[in-house]
C-alpha cells in the first residue's frame, strides 16, 4: 500500500523478519514462531508503516498476555486512522504477541509460562523464551520507543492508567503525553518486556485498562487517543489544531499503591467503582456468608483512587479486592478525573476521524 507522505527527504528502508519495507510503504509480516503438533505453522503478525521521512520508530504491542484483548482492538483502530498518511518515522504494530495464548483465551502459553516474565528469551529455550527472543530481535531492536497495551487479569478491572520508569526522562515524556489521569512510577520486573527494552535503551510505557477477555469502549478510545498523543509528542504526527474546550489537568503521578484484601471468605459486594476517590477508613464494600451472617465491612487503608477492582463476587480470605493508588488531596484528584473524557471523539489533527466506527456496547 502506497502512503501519501511528505517527500521532504529520502530515508532508508527497514527490514523486519527478512522483509524489506521501503519508505512510504506499509507491509504485514508474519514472523514464524513454531509449528503445532499438526504441522500447522504459527506466526506472529506484524504490520510496519514506514514513513517517507525520518523520525522515531515506535512499536505498539498487545496481548502479551493472551487473554488481554482490549489492546488488539486499540491497534486495529489505530491502523485505520487516516492521520497515519502524515507519519514521520516508523510505526511497528503487533496486535497479538502471545498468539497461542490468544487462540486459547489464556493469559499464558501452552507450557503455562508467563511471556511477560520470559524476556529477553533465548533462541534455544522454551516456547515462551523463543517467542520473547523473537520479539526482542525483530521488534524491540528495530525501535526507539514502545507502548505495551494490557488489561487487568481475568475477573479484574483496571482504571485507565500508565505505568513506567519515570526516572527516565524520555519514558516520563511518553507517560505524561498519553493523557490518562493516573501515571504510576514503577520499576522493572525481572523478565518483563519493559526490562528487556530498557537494556536495549528503548523506553517503554505500559497502558493498563479494562478486564481480560472483554472489550471496553471507553478504555479502547482512551488507548487510541493516548497513542496518537504520544506520536504527536514524538513529532511523528502533526500537532492537533486548537480546540475550544477546557484544558485537561495534568496526570496524577503516583509513587505507590496498595491492594485491599478480603478479611474473610464469602460473597463480596463492592460499593466503590473504578476511578472513585477514597479515604482511609472509608467503606469499599462488604463480605458475608451465603446466609448473611458474619458480615464484615471492607475499609480502605489509604487515601487515593481506586485503579483496580475484582469483579468476582466469590472470594476467599486474602483475595485482592481493590487496588488503590496512594494520593492525598481530593481537589487535585477531582480535577484530574473530571477532565478525563474517554468517550470523546478521536483527535486526529487535520484528518477525519473514524466516523464509521460504531462504539462497542
CA distance to 120, 174, 225, 348, 355, per residue, from 242 (Å)? 42, 21, 16, 12, 20
Per-residue pLDDT tens digits for 62-91: 999 999 999 999 999 999 999 999 999 999
| 35 pLDDT above the threshold of 80 | yes
Where along the chain do the CATH 3.40.630.10 domains lie? 14-233
Confidence of residue 2 (pLDDT cuts 50, 70, 90): very low
- Whether 334 shows a pLDDT value over 90: the answer reads no
Is residue 213 within 8 Å of residue 157, measured between CB atoms? no
Is the confidence at residue 144, as pLDDT, over 50?
yes
Which CATH code is given to the segment(s) 256-338?
2.40.50.100
Q: What is the pLDDT of residue 246?
A: 55
* pLDDT tens digits, 241-280: 766 555 556 889 999 999 999 999 999 999 999 999 999 9
Q: Which three cell numbers stand for residue 73?
A: 482492538
Asked if residue 129 has pLDDT above 50, the reply is: yes
Q: What is the CATH number of domain 14-233?
A: 3.40.630.10
Residues 6 or more apart whose CB falls under 8 angstroms from that of 112 comprise none
Closest of 330, 348, 346, 327 to residue 338, by C-alpha: 330
Q: Where in the chain is the domain with CATH 2.40.50.100?
A: 256-338
State the pLDDT at residue 292: 85
Percent of the chain topping pLDDT 70: 87
> Do 90 and 54 form a contact (C-beta atoms < 8 A)?
no
Average pLDDT of every residue of the chain: 90
- Mean pLDDT is lowest, of 160-174, 200-214, 248-262, 291-305, for 248-262
157-172 as b/e: b if 16+ CB within 10 A: bbbbbbbbbbeeeebb
- pLDDT of the residue at 351: 39
42 pLDDT higher than 60: yes
Q: What is the dihedral of CA 133, 211, 78, 65, to 10 degrees?
A: 10
pLDDT surpassing 80 at residue 15: yes
358 DSSP assignment: P
Amino acid at each position: 500500500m502506497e502512503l501519501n507522505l511528505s517527500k521532504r527527504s529520502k530515508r532508508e528502508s527497514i527490514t523486519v523478519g527478512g522483509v524489506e519495507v521501503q519508505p512510504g510503504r506499509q507491509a504485514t509480516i508474519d514472523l514464524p514462531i513454531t509449528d503445532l503438533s499438526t504441522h500447522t505453522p504459527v506466526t506472529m503478525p506484524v504490520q510496519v508503516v514506514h514513513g517517507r521521512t525520518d523520525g522515531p520508530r515506535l512499536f505498539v504491542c498487545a496481548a502479551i498476555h493472551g487473554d488481554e484483548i482490549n489492546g488488539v482492538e486499540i491497534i486495529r483502530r489505530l491502523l485505520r486512522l487516516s492521520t497515519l498518511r502524515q507519519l514521520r518515522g516508523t510505526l511497528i504494530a503487533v496486535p497479538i504477541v502471545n498468539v497461542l495464548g490468544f487462540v486459547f483465551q489464556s493469559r499464558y502459553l501452552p507450557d503455562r509460562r508467563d511471556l511477560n516474565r520470559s524476556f529477553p528469551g533465548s533462541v534455544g529455550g522454551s516456547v515462551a523464551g523463543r517467542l520473547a527472543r523473537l520479539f526482542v530481535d525483530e521488534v524491540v531492536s528495530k525501535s526507539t520507543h514502545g507502548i505495551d497495551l494490557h488489561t487487568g487479569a481475568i475477573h479484574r478491572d483496571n482504571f485507565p492508567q500508565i505505568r513506567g520508569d519515570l526516572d527516565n526522562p524520555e519514558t516520563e515524556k511518553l507517560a505524561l503525553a498519553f493523557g490518562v489521569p493516573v501515571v504510576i512510577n514503577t520499576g522493572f520486573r525481572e523478565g518483563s518486556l519493559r526490562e528487556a527494552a530498557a537494556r536495549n535503551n528503548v523506553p517503554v510505557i505500559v497502558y493498563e485498562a479494562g478486564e481480560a477477555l472483554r472489550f471496553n469502549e471507553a478504555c479502547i478510545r482512551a488507548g487510541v487517543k493516548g497513542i496518537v498523543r504520544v506520536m504527536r509528542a514524538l513529532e511523528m504526527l502533526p500537532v492537533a489544531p486548537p480546540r475550544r474546550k477546557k484544558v485537561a489537568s495534568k496526570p496524577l503521578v503516583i509513587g505507590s499503591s496498595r491492594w485491599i484484601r478480603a478479611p474473610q471468605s464469602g460473597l463480596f459486594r463492592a460499593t466503590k467503582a473504578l476511578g472513585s476517590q477514597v479515604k482511609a477508613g472509608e467503606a469499599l464494600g462488604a463480605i458475608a456468608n451465603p446466609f448473611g451472617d458474619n458480615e464484615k465491612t471492607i475499609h480502605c487503608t489509604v487515601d487515593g483512587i481506586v485503579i483496580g477492582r475484582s469483579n468476582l463476587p466469590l472470594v476467599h480470605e486474602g483475595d485482592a479486592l481493590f487496588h488503590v493508588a496512594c494520593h492525598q488531596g481530593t481537589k487535585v484528584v477531582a480535577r484530574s478525573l473530571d477532565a478525563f473524557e474517554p468517550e470523546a471523539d478521536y483527535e486526529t489533527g487535520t484528518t477525519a476521524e473514524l466516523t464509521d466506527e460504531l462504539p462497542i456496547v
